[in-house]
Structure 1
Amino acid sequence: MSKLTNDQRLEIYHKRKQGMTISDLAKLYNVNKHTIEYLIRLLDRHGEDVLRKRKNRYYSPELKLEIINKVSMEHRSINETAIEYGLSSHGILCNWMKSYKENGYTIVEKKRGRSPTMSKKVKPVDPNDKDAIIRQKDEEILRLRAENEYLKTLRAVVQARKDRQPKKK
């Protein structure tokens, strides 16, 4: 399935309103019938301005939770809810629902951009909080084990390189 530009989406909408069938449009633009049906319903509900919004929209965690609750608590369909909120695809809402369930029914916001290469400084832990101390020590043990594995591998590579070199007399 190919990705459609906003101009193509408008063409599909206008051709459908002129009487062209959804099946013909799906073949012509090489997309799924359901994608076209969703697009038609979305444009009927919100108008052509819904396509003019910027490409990568930001949805706050509160809005995501509100939308997910409409589906899960009020038992509304994913398509209906996605159209109501003007989402560009119902797949966005499906992904939110999946992520919500996988993360223990909490909204986790993805961090944008590249992760820093330098390690973060360890925050001081309250000496009375035993769970936090144990968690911190476990993380340190994991980090040290990974570092040891890396150094062992590096030492083995250096040793193998030395063994390959001819011995000098």
Structure 2
Amino acid sequence: MGRKAKYSYEFKLHCVKEVLSRHQTVEAVSELNGCHHTTLHDWIRFYEKYGKKALLPRKNRIYSLEFKLKVVEAIETNSLSLSQACLEFNIPTKSVIIKWQRSYKKQGIVGLNIKPRGKPKIMQFKRAKKKSNKPLTREEELLLENESLRAELDLLKKFQALIQEDQNKKRKP
């Protein structure tokens, strides 16, 4: 399930056509239609380079490690701005590249690896032991009692430490 597009394809196309065919300013069209002017600039650039298909809503794409590395290195070696890199490599938003750059700077190539998203497929947790109808052996009874007494002792020690801490606070002022 992808995210919902903020602006529809028809809306984007309408705004771009207003600027390109009717020769209106980007600021006027963006103010009239309620979108940010930099967003409209991006739509126009993508439309001019890739045509109408660039304005279509995009599903969350998964980029390969090689592609990410190519983009990050191109920005560094060619001194591309984020907008230029987005346009050059057909990446919809600058935030994607910013995330790649941070990961690359922090962890190197390993940071650009595809990370699993969402909940893990296999949840790892300890299952409670099933109670059996068999009576416990004397040894098992003693082990359970020992475990219970240790837990009780730990609890009492923590309670004593809290009381001691509280008394120390009262003495200090």
The aligned counterpart of 2:96 is 92
Query: Which protein shows a greater Rg?
Result: 2
Instruction: Count residues in correspondence.
Output: 123
The aligned counterpart of 1:23 is 27
Q: How far apart in 2 are the matches of 1:104 and 1:51?
A: 33
Identity %: 24
When the two chains are superposed, the root-mean-square deviation of aligned CA atoms in Å is 2.8
Q: Return the offset for 1:43.
A: 0.8
TM norm structure 2:
0.60
The aligned counterpart of 2:12 is 9
Q: How far apart in 1 are the matches of 2:69 and 2:39?
A: 24
TM norm structure 1:
0.61
In structure 2, runs of 5+ residues without a counterpart are: 126-150, 157-173
Q: Return the offset for 1:27.
A: 1.5
Q: Are 2:27 and 2:37, in contact at CA under 8 Å, matched by a contact in 1?
A: yes
The aligned counterpart of 1:119 is 124
Q: Return the offset for 1:73.
A: 2.2
Residues 56-103 of structure 1, C-alpha deviation per residue, up to 9 Å, x if partnerless? 222111111101110012222221121011111223222222232233
Q: Return the offset for 1:53.
A: 6.5
Q: Are 2:12 and 2:43, in contact at CA under 8 Å, matched by a contact in 1?
A: yes
The aligned counterpart of 1:59 is 63
In structure 1, runs of 5+ residues without a counterpart are: 121-150, 157-169
Q: Are 2:75 and 2:85, in contact at CA under 8 Å, matched by a contact in 1?
A: yes
4+ aligned runs moved over 6 Å, structure 1: none
1:1-169 aligned at under 5 Å gives the runs 3-17=6-20, 18-52=22-56, 54-104=58-108, 106-116=111-121, 118-119=123-124
Q: How far apart in 1 are the matches of 2:33 and 2:16?
A: 12
